[in-house]
């Protein structure tokens, strides 16, 4: 249990990585378009098992990127919305 912080910024990738390094947030900073490539998650019931059964390969990749990344760079508002969707579908509580 605990809180995991992910940096979400409109800055370019190199700037985001250096900022994350200086703040001790981790080194796995991805471009936001890594999320945009995956189609939106399906609308499902409350169970995580349902989600895992219905994810396509691209959705699973996007979900794995979101879970593994320390943060995202070159982010636009639609990327933030997509990130929140992915994390909530995986059972996380998200604040931004």
Cα–Cα distances (Å) from 50 to 15, 44, 45, 54, 59, in that order, read 38, 7, 7, 6, 14
Q: How many CB atoms are closer than 10 A to CB 83?
A: 23
Q: 41-64 pLDDT, tens per residue?
A: 555 555 555 544 444 555 567 778
So what's the pLDDT on residue 54? 47
Residue 78 pLDDT greater than 70, yes or no: yes
Q: 16-45 pLDDT, tens per residue?
A: 999 999 999 998 999 998 886 555 555 555
Answer whether 0.75 is exceeded by the pTM.
Answer: no
């Amino acid at each position: 249990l605990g809180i995991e912080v992910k940096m979400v910024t409109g800055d370019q990738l190199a700037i985001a990585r250096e900022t994350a390094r200086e703040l001790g947030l981790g080194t796995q900073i991805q471009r936001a378009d890594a999320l945009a490539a995956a189609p939106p998650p399906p609308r499902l019931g409350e169970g995580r098992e349902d989600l895992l059964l219905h994810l396509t390969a691209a959705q699973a990749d996007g979900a794995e990127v979101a879970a593994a990344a320390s943060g995202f760079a070159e982010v636009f508002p639609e990327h933030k919305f997509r990130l929140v969707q992915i994390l909530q579908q995986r059972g996380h509580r998200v604040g931004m």
